[in-house]
A and B are shown apart, each in its own frame.
Chain A
Amino acid sequence: MQSSRESTDLGPGLEAAGTRRRGFLSRIAAVVVGSLVALVPMAAGLLTFFDPLRSRAKGGGDGRSNRGRLVRVAPLDALSADGVPRQFQVIADRFDAWNRFPDESIGVVYLRRVPGSDEVQAFNATCPHLGCFVSFKADRGMYQCPCHESAFKIDGAMIHPTPSPRDLDELETKVKDNAVWVWYQDFYTGKEQKKPKT
């Protein structure tokens, strides 16, 4: 608007064309400079804001992740032979931003000995629906979530109908020197696929 009025005032001619060009350049320059000064602090802010998205080495390779770690959880003797699961805290160094807490709980798992074998099953106690902790109901022989009533069989399989999109998250285990080791991981909830949190 402004420029067309200017040009009519001045009338056609070289001088007017020059002014128009200058006006155009000024506007471009103003926008560029203005954006630049506004963007630099914003960009610095966003850069830091997006820090959580930075992909850390898989499996806690940078040594500062709470998951993707093989943790000794319990002696094998702590599991009853009849296959009834027990809840265990996964104790390891816990990281929270700038803090390292030696030997704290980084998660909760259920361990059970598969009856008639030496195999140990481990389940992350986090409900795959929306992340509350399931508890094992011994009288019913199943895990139940207190939030939206998801239920799972003793081997972690969903009991239908259930709001949970998948079975309880099973974790890899290893029995070594009479101790149960668990590869501890958390998974994103609400998805049909088990996607580990990193």
Chain B
Amino acid sequence: MKAVLNWLDHRTGIRAVLHSALYEHIPGGARWRYVWGSTLVFAFVVQLVTGVFLWMAYSPSGHTAWESVYYIQNEMQGGWLLRGLHHFMAQAMVILLAFHLMQVVIDGAYRAPREVNFLLGLILMQIVLGLSLTGYLLPWDQKGYWATRVATNLMGLVPVVGTQLQKLVVGGADYGHHTLTRFFALHAGVLPGLLIGFLVLHLAIFRRHGIHAPDPHRRPDTTFWPDQILKDSVACLAVLAVVLFVVVRLGADLGAPADPSHEYSAARPEWYFLFLFQFLKLFEGGGETGELIGGIVVPFLVLLALFAMPWVGRWKLGHRFNVGLLLCLLAGIGVLTAQALYADNRAQWAGKPSTTADKDSPEVKRYEASSGYLRARHHAELEAKRVLELIENNKGIPAGGALTLLRDDPKTQGPRLFARWCASCHLHDDSPEIFGQPSAPDLTGFGTRKWIAGLVDPKQVDGPHYFGNTSHNGENGGQMVEFIKTTMPELEPADVAQAVAALSAQAQLVSQHDMDKIDAAMIQEGIEQIELLGCIDCHKFRGLGDLGTAPDLTGYASREWLLGMISNPAHERFYGDNNDRMPAFAANPDDPRSNILSPKDLELLVDWLRGEWYRPPRAKR
């Protein structure tokens, strides 16, 4: 063994290299405060290792980035651990950077002759932050996509070359394949390459000047190996343990795939950039100049102040100034971060403002902004879960990407379409938007037995959930309201219940499938009741009665019925001339382009109203 080593040493000088690496002199003994640099190197190595393995499974393009990350996270053996380590170690690195910087500044380790190394350290910090920023986009989920839009738009504010710079980074004017390829090349190639280069310089210069011991006589001198290495390893172990704990407890999250055509109201940068996000809010009303100052000039000046520390530190009070400045900066970052978190969460932390509060008061506005954010975040979480269900149902992701699954999903698209087209008049419990006073029936559970039972209830029929706010209400002499109010109390409740079940069965709702099957005999009798109770005096039902006065009850609330009704409520099969303000959303089946709703949107809306969407087996009713 020794002979081999001798042979090798003769040709490479390895012993001297090892010796100088391990027996670095440490005046005043090994200390815990020296560990930060080593933990950072460790964290970087973890990122390098996990990053390369992630690379082996990652595919940067608009149709494959999210999909490949999904596959790593949910399908590949140990993928959650690999990605979790990479995801959270990146965040740990930012914290460790802050500690390392604090230790260096407080100890005055930037002083001559270590100025250059301090500057190299600050450059390394920029590179690490650049890695975070570029890495955030790569999963191509909603939050990464929208946060990166904001970040790259900030870049566009740089004077003179801003827009060009933005185009170069984004890979064009639009976000797409080339944004991913470029960000990935930066993240996995350019920045780590630079980081390694600067790290080598940083360490070489560190070795050249030796460790900066603020108190060199506190204990006997020692060497790097084994005392300091032991402390460093323990610190690295602690970092790893914390990261692993977070990986197991929280796991790296993956939002729904990026959708450039759908607003994402929960767009926020990663937590360690939140202070910058909040800082921009301080420049409200400053216009372009304010934006430039807040987004570019101030951060640049702060960096400049950091870079100037070694020279400022030469003055009599310079060191104190530097320490003060750093602590102020960190405190400022802390306050801004807390403000940002509070602004977003105040709706759940501070509670609702009193109902008497002025609608335009800042408090109400802030509350609304916060509850809007929380709602958006909740929806984002639901959507992220939903896409997994859809992938499972589809037994994989189509070539067009996971977004196509969400775009074809009634459960996802229904509430959006409803909010856009129906919510200005109708209510629905599952639609996020509520626009003032409803002027048409509540469509929650439309066609179910419960809904129809309410319709034929004399107490409810003229209420806000049915005809109360329509032109068919009692005030306007609506015939249905009058019929229900006068005739219903005289009827046998059991007969009415049979009729309700029979009418509801016409809808063939998935949610009532089992119930309808069990109650088949009752439904059969109910069909006769519909005819006996006088419904067919106005409505058509299974060959009896006539069209033209009231909606056809044949197939009432069925898919085909609803498609027709929404397409053209003024058709004689529905409300005819009695139609109250409801627009025809697809009046021209032969020319879909001239219709308000496309055939696909119409079907998605109807399927959602009827509760027809894929449900994973465990949630199946």
Binding site for B on A (CB under 8 A): 49-50, 52-53, 65-67, 72, 74-75, 77-78, 80, 84, 86-87, 89, 96-99, 104-105, 107-108, 125, 129-135, 138-140, 144, 146-149, 160-163, 165, 178-179, 186, 188-192, 195, 197-198
* Residue of B177, B267, B277, B376 with most chain A CB atoms under a 10 A cut-off: B267
Q: How far apart sit A198 and B163, CA to CA, in the bound complex (Å)?
A: 11
Q: Which residues of B contact A49 (CB under 8 A)?
A: 168
CB closest residue in chain B, given A89: B261
| Contact between chains at B263 and A98 (CB < 8 Å) | no
| Contact between chains at B288 and A53 (CB < 8 Å) | no
With both chains docked as a complex, state the minimum distance between the C-beta of B177 and any C-beta of chain A, in angstroms.
4
Q: How far apart sit A139 and B438, CA to CA, in the bound complex (Å)?
A: 12
* Residue of B266, B365, B369, B594 with most chain A CB atoms under a 10 A cut-off: B594
| Contact between chains at A52 and B266 (CB < 8 Å) | no
Q: Which residues of B contact A148 (CB under 8 A)?
A: 277, 280-281, 284
- 17 CB-based A-B contacts, threshold 8 Å: A52-B170, A52-B172, A77-B583, A87-B420, A97-B171, A104-B261, A107-B261, A132-B264, A132-B267, A140-B359, A146-B265, A149-B365, A149-B369, A178-B594, A190-B153, A190-B288, A197-B173
Q: How far apart sit A191 and B150, CA to CA, in the bound complex (Å)?
A: 14
With both chains docked as a complex, state the minimum distance between the C-beta of A89 and any C-beta of chain B, in angstroms.
6
| Contact between chains at A195 and B163 (CB < 8 Å) | yes
B314 interface hit (Cβ, 8 Å): no
Q: How far apart sit A198 and B433, CA to CA, in the bound complex (Å)?
A: 35
| Contact between chains at B287 and A75 (CB < 8 Å) | no
B164 interface hit (Cβ, 8 Å): yes
| Contact between chains at B288 and A161 (CB < 8 Å) | no
Query: Provided the pairs A105-B261, A190-B154 are in contact, do residues A163 and B285 lie with their beta carbons within 8 angstroms?
Result: yes
- Contact partner, A190, options B261, B291, B435, Cβ 8 Å: B291
Task: Tell me the B188-207 residues at the A interface (CB within 8 Å).
Answer: none
| Contact between chains at A188 and B156 (CB < 8 Å) | yes
| Contact between chains at B285 and A96 (CB < 8 Å) | no
Contact with A along B423-436 (1 / 0, CB 8 A): 01000000001011
Task: Tell me the B274-326 residues at the A interface (CB within 8 Å).
Answer: 277, 280-281, 283-288, 290-291, 295
| Contact between chains at B287 and A165 (CB < 8 Å) | yes
Q: Which residues of A contact B264 (CB under 8 A)?
A: 132-133
CB closest residue in chain B, given A107: B261
Query: Provided the pairs A53-B164, A87-B420, A138-B424 are in contact, do residues A189 and B156 lie with their beta carbons within 8 angstroms?
Result: yes
With both chains docked as a complex, state the minimum distance between the C-beta of B379 and any C-beta of chain A, in angstroms.
12
| Contact between chains at B288 and A165 (CB < 8 Å) | yes
With both chains docked as a complex, state the minimum distance between the C-beta of A128 and any C-beta of chain B, in angstroms.
10
CB closest residue in chain B, given A104: B261
| Contact between chains at A52 and B168 (CB < 8 Å) | yes
Q: Which residues of B contact A104 (CB under 8 A)?
A: 261
Q: How far apart sit A149 and B168, CA to CA, in the bound complex (Å)?
A: 28
Task: Tell me the B578-614 residues at the A interface (CB within 8 Å).
Answer: 583-584, 593-596
Q: Which 10 A-B pairs have the closest CB atoms?
A: A133-B263, A105-B261, A146-B265, A96-B176, A161-B285, A138-B435, A78-B596, A97-B177, A197-B173, A165-B288
Q: Which residues of A contact B164 (CB under 8 A)?
A: 53
Query: Provided the pairs A80-B424, A105-B261 are in contact, do residues A192 and B176 lie with their beta carbons within 8 angstroms?
Result: no
B149 interface hit (Cβ, 8 Å): yes
- Contact partner, B153, options A80, A130, A146, Cβ 8 Å: A130
B212 interface hit (Cβ, 8 Å): no
| Contact between chains at B168 and A147 (CB < 8 Å) | no
Q: Which residues of B contact A197 (CB under 8 A)?
A: 173
| Contact between chains at B420 and A163 (CB < 8 Å) | no
| Contact between chains at B281 and A163 (CB < 8 Å) | yes
Q: Which residues of A contact B146 (CB under 8 A)?
A: 132
- Contact partner, B291, options A74, A107, A147, A165, Cβ 8 Å: A165
- Contact partner, A188, options B163, B263, B291, Cβ 8 Å: B163
Q: How far apart sit A84 and B281, CA to CA, in the bound complex (Å)?
A: 29
With both chains docked as a complex, state the minimum distance between the C-beta of A113 and any C-beta of chain B, in angstroms.
13
Q: How far apart sit A106 and B122, CA to CA, in the bound complex (Å)?
A: 41
| Contact between chains at B435 and A139 (CB < 8 Å) | yes
CB closest residue in chain B, given A78: B596
With both chains docked as a complex, state the minimum distance between the C-beta of B225 and any C-beta of chain A, in angstroms.
39
B548 interface hit (Cβ, 8 Å): no
B372 interface hit (Cβ, 8 Å): yes
CB closest residue in chain B, given A79: B596
Binding site for A on B (CB under 8 A): 62, 146, 149-150, 153-154, 156-157, 163-164, 166-168, 170-174, 176-178, 260-267, 277, 280-281, 283-288, 290-291, 295, 359, 365, 369, 372-373, 376, 420, 424, 433, 435-436, 583-584, 593-596
CB closest residue in chain A, given B294: A163
Q: Which residues of A contact B284 (CB under 8 A)?
A: 148, 161-163
CB closest residue in chain B, given A99: B177
CB closest residue in chain A, given B146: A132
| Contact between chains at B583 and A135 (CB < 8 Å) | no
| Contact between chains at B596 and A74 (CB < 8 Å) | yes
| Contact between chains at A66 and B174 (CB < 8 Å) | yes
Query: Provided the pairs A97-B176, A97-B177, A163-B281 are in contact, do residues A135 and B263 lie with their beta carbons within 8 angstroms?
Result: yes
Q: How far apart sit A191 and B593, CA to CA, in the bound complex (Å)?
A: 36
Q: How far apart sit A49 and B186, CA to CA, in the bound complex (Å)?
A: 12
CB closest residue in chain A, given B261: A105
* Residue of B265, B365, B376 with most chain A CB atoms under a 10 A cut-off: B265
Q: Which residues of B contact A144 (CB under 8 A)?
A: 369, 372
With both chains docked as a complex, state the minimum distance between the C-beta of B33 and any C-beta of chain A, in angstroms.
40
| Contact between chains at B167 and A53 (CB < 8 Å) | yes
Q: How far apart sit A132 and B177, CA to CA, in the bound complex (Å)?
A: 20
Q: Which residues of B contact A134 (CB under 8 A)?
A: 263
Q: Which residues of B contact A66 (CB under 8 A)?
A: 173-174
With both chains docked as a complex, state the minimum distance between the C-beta of B141 and any C-beta of chain A, in angstroms.
16
Q: How far apart sit A122 and B167, CA to CA, in the bound complex (Å)?
A: 26
Q: Which residues of A contact B596 (CB under 8 A)?
A: 74-75, 77-78
| Contact between chains at B156 and A190 (CB < 8 Å) | yes
- Contact partner, A130, options B154, B376, B593, Cβ 8 Å: B154
| Contact between chains at A132 and B263 (CB < 8 Å) | yes
Q: Which residues of A contact B173 (CB under 8 A)?
A: 52, 65-67, 186, 197-198
With both chains docked as a complex, state the minimum distance between the C-beta of A151 and any C-beta of chain B, in angstroms.
9
Q: Which residues of B contact A87 (CB under 8 A)?
A: 420
| Contact between chains at B178 and A139 (CB < 8 Å) | no
Q: How far apart sit A72 and B594, CA to CA, in the bound complex (Å)?
A: 10
Q: How far apart sit A138 and B373, CA to CA, in the bound complex (Å)?
A: 17
Q: Which residues of B contact A89 (CB under 8 A)?
A: 261
Q: How far apart sit A87 and B421, CA to CA, in the bound complex (Å)?
A: 9
With both chains docked as a complex, state the minimum distance between the C-beta of A62 and any C-beta of chain B, in angstroms.
13
Q: How far apart sit A186 and B173, CA to CA, in the bound complex (Å)?
A: 9
Q: Which residues of A contact B369 (CB under 8 A)?
A: 144, 146, 149
Q: Which residues of B contact A160 (CB under 8 A)?
A: 285
- Contact partner, B266, options A67, A78, A146, A195, Cβ 8 Å: A146
Q: How far apart sit A31 and B595, CA to CA, in the bound complex (Å)?
A: 69
* Residue of B174, B267, B285 with most chain A CB atoms under a 10 A cut-off: B174
- Contact partner, B150, options A72, A80, A147, A161, Cβ 8 Å: A147
